[in-house]
Amino acid sequence: MKKNHPIDAVRSRIIACARSHFLTLGFRSVTMDDLASELAMSKGTLYRYFPDKMSLVEAVLHDKVQETERCMDAIAARDVSDFPATLHTFVSCLHQHIEEFRPPFVRDLNRMQAESVAALETQKLALIRKNFGKFLDKGCKADFFRDDINPVMVMEVLLAALQTIVRQEKLDAFGLNAQEAIREIYSIILYGITRRQEG
């Protein structure tokens, strides 16, 4: 048994509590005092694990990314014999994880320091490349996508759309929030590259 297991358990408990509050309410409106009270621990104990709120925000995002990656890995490992069902599961998984990021949290992220935003953007794009790339590869092997589709181009179109459209000025212009915009982007791309099913 690892000696630091109790520490890991407390750290995980703090992250879980912060995640439930930050992703719903935004992290600017939730104080470390609020979290300490919710966790029934002193603020000093909380700060021993996370020296400031931003380190906790980063831990929450890392935890969320890992959870999303586990979900995507599980889907990527499935048999592709029923690829339409796999496509539906993939999109549903994306929607589930996207929905957890509520507008107040997205707004707070957009106000973060430029270097923090850039680091998060790099992490997000790496996750998309890895998991969406696996999905595209399986779809091609299952002969589910159109013959004239270049998977590399599809990936670049997806990344460009996410980076260009999921910005506040564009969201305001389209009358969408971030979750709705991401859903539409994935739906347009995923269903646009599939073969027409004979009815």
* Cα 109 from Cα 120, distance rounded (Å): 9
Whether the predicted pLDDT of 1 surpasses 60: no
Does residue 155 or residue 166 have the better pLDDT?
Answer: 155
Whether the predicted pLDDT of 117 surpasses 70: no
- Per-residue confidence (pLDDT) for residue 182, from 0 to 100: 83
- Per-residue confidence (pLDDT) for residue 177, from 0 to 100: 82
* Cα 96 from Cα 88, distance rounded (Å): 12
Kindly report, residue by residue over 16-35, the tens digit of the pLDDT: 999 999 999 999 999 999 99
- Per-residue confidence (pLDDT) for residue 2, from 0 to 100: 45
* Cα 167 from Cα 177, distance rounded (Å): 9
Does residue 35 or residue 91 have the better pLDDT?
Answer: 35
The mean per-residue pLDDT over the stretch 83-93 comes to 78
Structure tokens at 125: 């794009």
**Residue among 72, 90, 94 nearest 82 (CA):** 90
Whether the predicted pLDDT of 94 surpasses 60: yes
Whether the predicted pLDDT of 162 surpasses 70: yes
Share of the chain above pLDDT 90, in %: 28
**Residue among 12, 102, 106 nearest 50 (CA):** 12
Task: Find where tokens 């794009």 sit.
Answer: 125
Does residue 135 or residue 40 have the better pLDDT?
Answer: 40
Task: Return phi, psi of residue 52, to 5°.
Answer: -155, 170
CB 126 within 8 A of CB 48: no
Whether the predicted pLDDT of 41 surpasses 90: yes
Kindly report, residue by residue over 47-75, the tens digit of the pLDDT: 999 999 999 998 998 898 889 888 888 88
CATH topology of domain 6-192: Tetracycline Repressor; domain 2 (1.10.357)
